[in-house]
Amino acid sequence: MQILQPPGWARPRGYSNGIAAEGRMVFVSGMVGWDADCKFQTGDFAGQVKQALQNIIAVLAEAGGRPEHIARMTWYVVDKAEYVGAYRQIGEVYRELIGPHYPAMTAVEVAGLLEPQARVEIEVTAVVPASKL
């Protein structure tokens, strides 16, 4: 993967402006913070982020992918203040599961998610290099 950073632009914190990659495209639908039995174990924002990221990692593994193959993430949050208030905990969870990999990211506050208990939903696009298949 190649990080796309235009000359003279300030380096973004926690994400990349753009990513270029070649390989097998993997699209992971929006994952919420429930477990494999579709049950929420917590209402805590960072806890739901952790579970959603674990779900994403499990789906990527089915395609031979790993967290470092994520090219793009979109986060849908129901409460911007809750999201901002959990930055530190989200960062800890993110680094624990994804590591020092920062794909192109977008975060959007939405009026609601289809699962009433969900505080966050994360979808990703990954590119698994041909050498990893």
User: Domains (ranges, CATH) in the chain?
Assistant: 31-132 (3.30.1330.40)
pLDDT in tens, 45-54: 999 999 999 9
- Is the confidence at residue 128, as pLDDT, over 90? yes
- Is the confidence at residue 132, as pLDDT, over 70? no
- Is the confidence at residue 100, as pLDDT, over 70? yes
Amino acid at 26: V
What is the DSSP code string of 48-90? HHHHHHHHHHHHHHHTT--GGGEEEEEEEES-HHHHHHTHHHH
What's the whole-number average pLDDT of the chain? 95
- Is the confidence at residue 109, as pLDDT, over 70? yes
pLDDT in tens, 42-97: 999 999 999 999 999 999 999 999 999 999 999 999 999 999 999 999 999 999 99
Amino acid at 41: Q
* Tokens at 114, concatenated: 């289809």
CA–CA gap between residue 117 and residue 27 (Å, rounded): 24
